Amino acid sequence: MLLRRAHYDAALILRDDHWWGAALAAVAGIPWRIGHAHPLCEPFLSRALPYHPQEHVTQQALALVRQLAPAPQSDRPQLRFVPTLAEARWAENWMAQHLAPNERLIVIHPGTGGPSKHWLEEDWATVGNALAKYQGLRLLLTGGPAEVALVERIAARMPTPPLTLAGATSVGQLTALLGHATLVLGVDSGPLHLAVSQGVPTIHLFGPSDERRFGPWGPAEQQIVLRTLLPCTPCGVFSHCPRHTEPVECMAAITPQAVIAAVKGVIPAEAG
């Protein structure tokens, strides 16, 4: 077994319920198997930290790292992702080619891995149409390779065509480009966390996800979470709605008007 041959001293089980990772570390004979006392993981761990189901996953991960590299408990590191120089130059060139010198960039990243976390395409188009009325703004829709069709469908619903960039960037290029944005909007997804890592204002639409655990790791006044509180939220099921609502009720209940109002709180200068 590759893990056993490597003679690792320690394994950090960063996901609190990652039982098979903890089991694999135990079978590989890794002496220090550090994780949280989740019922599925604890039997395989050599050191189990207290498990708090509502604790942010970043805070959980930091607690595990401190077992090997002690740091002050009050320390709250800033979320940072540093693109390479080539990626930063790519983003600068893209901005110079697509935006006028005084234009500001607004980014909507509508896609995510879990179908039940998606917002309605027509609602994204409604928000995009409202943003098109702002002076000095250019709207960009971004997405990964699997989200090209999604981005194209949303763009097709908008009378004023937005810029689109889906399936054509690396993670680092996208991150560098998000760093130039005045505002980034989207659902619970990795690219929204990348935007947070660049210190730009963000608006996150949450439904089945628990923002206490998976919300933006940044100042609340700059990273805004929108959600509707239903009795069943957050359910944590990302593949479908357990109640079989279509569209997914907790996401559909977030109105375009609520998102537009949040945008106005960040960018108040609208064309009259």
Q: Looking up tokens 């001293």, which residue turns up?
A: 9
Under CATH, what is the fold of the domain 85-266? Rossmann fold (3.40.50)
Asked whether the whole model's pTM tops 0.75, one would answer yes
In 3D space, the residue among 76, 155, 126 whose CA is nearest the CA of residue 260 turns out to be 126
2-6, 58-62, 126-130: least confident range: 2-6
Distances (CA, A) of 52 to 29, 38, 69, 119: 27, 9, 21, 29
What backbone torsions phi and psi does residue 87 show, to the nearest 5 degrees? -70, -40
CA–CA distance, 202 with 102 (Å, rounded to integer): 21
Local confidence band at 44 (pLDDT 50, 70, 90 cut-offs): very high
Residue ranges covered by each domain of the chain: 2-68, 85-266
Q: What is the pLDDT of residue 65?
A: 93
Instruction: Quick: pLDDT tens for 206-248.
Output: 999 999 999 999 998 899 999 999 999 999 999 999 999 999 9
